[in-house]
Chains A and B, each alone.
Chain A
């Protein structure tokens, strides 16, 4: 009996792992050009091939890696680049806070591995999973999602390095739009309540107002303003929030 149960548990975990990878595929599609572009641009910005690979394997933070390239090209010191990475990645603190309730029962090493893979894409994929039923083994869904994202990110960096040396003007192809269109596709399903729409409109307006601030500080100000307004609209106009809780996932 115990053997059968163990086998069933392994199969359930494997199904969750696969489902996590599959649910992340559309988001991976958007990350492919982004990863290739990173591999293509990095050597051109003055980073060695080894450091380009190491950054994707060890840091695993797309937008921070891109901003680092810009700063390296501009001759910024490592301490400036590290501080900028901190600021740009602060949004992950908010993602982690949103997931705490779902992961707090897991062993610390498992939580550490999951934290390493906490990207925008995996957060979007797992938030939806955690709204569903039977979430006891859903951390395997999370691990499947992050493994697919990670494998793809490292592979695309390799492809980018190879393409960059083979095709000199590949950076003119507009691959940088891939991130924008992916994020647009992720935001639109959220727009189902007045509170959510207010949050997004305020974030949009403020992001333009503060776009000139260095180190992406404007991003943080705009996001915090949007979150505050969304929260206040939902609190003081409760009807405006009628559908927001019903469909939070992407």
Chain B
């Protein structure tokens, strides 16, 4: 491993661990205000949605609203599978299978 890579990985570790640990480290003397606690219940769906939507609408960096965008079509199909089945494993299995087939047909 070259020296520059060691610095890069050390730095990435430092910032990632700091972000994950700072709240846990101060845990004993920290009390969160109620509004913040309520707002936090919206964090996981809001963050995940903000990751998913651009990754399927702009899979290659530009907006692709068409049936030739297999990421978007498979994303919509997966959404309905999840909505109907309420089963994560089934959603991943059917979603990936649909994507693999559709992506290669396009």
Hey, which bits of chain A sit against chain B, CB under 8 A? 26-27, 29-30, 33, 47-48, 50-51, 54-55, 58-61, 63-65, 68, 78-79, 81-83, 85-86, 89-101, 103-104, 108, 111-112, 114-116, 118, 120, 123-124, 127, 173-174, 176-191, 195-196, 199-200, 202-204, 206-208, 211, 218-220, 222-224, 226-228, 230-231, 234-235, 244-245, 248, 250
Contact = CB atoms under 8 A, between A and B. Distances in A.
Given A48-B2, A174-B70, A94 B96 contact: no
Contacts of A92: 16, 19-20
Contact of A78 (B4, B17, B40): B4
Contact of A248 (B19, B41, B75): B41
Given A27-B88, A211-B57, A248-B41, 8 more contacts: A64-B12, A89-B20, A104-B27, A104-B30, A180-B78, A185-B95, A199-B46, A226-B45
A227 B39 contact: yes
Contacts of B24: 96, 99-100, 103-104, 111-112, 114-115
A200 B49 contact: yes
Given A89-B19, A104-B27, A174-B70, A231 B51 contact: no
23 contacts: A26-B92, A54-B1, A55-B9, A58-B10, A58-B12, A59-B13, A79-B11, A177-B71, A180-B56, A180-B71, A180-B75, A185-B91, A186-B48, A187-B82, A188-B79, A188-B91, A196-B42, A203-B46, A204-B50, A211-B57, A223-B49, A226-B45, A235-B38
B75 A181 contact: yes
B47 A59 contact: no
A245 B21 CA distance: 26
A61 B95 contact: no
Contacts of A48: 1-2, 5
B52 to A, nearest CB: 5
Given A92-B20, A115-B20, A190-B44, A234 B38 contact: yes
Contacts of A185: 78, 82, 88, 91-92, 95
Interface residues of B, number: 70
Contacts of A182: 88, 92
B9 A208 contact: no
Contacts, number: 279
B64 to A, nearest CB: 12
DSSP class of B's interface residues: helix, strand, loop or mixed?
Answer: helix
DSSP class of A's interface residues: helix, strand, loop or mixed?
Answer: helix
B79 A184 contact: yes
Contacts of A64: 12, 16
A200 B36 CA distance: 18
A131 to B, nearest CB: 11
A83 to B, nearest CB: 8
Contacts of A223: 43, 46-47, 49-50
A47 to B, nearest CB: 7
Contact of B55 (A89, A124, A127, A179): A179
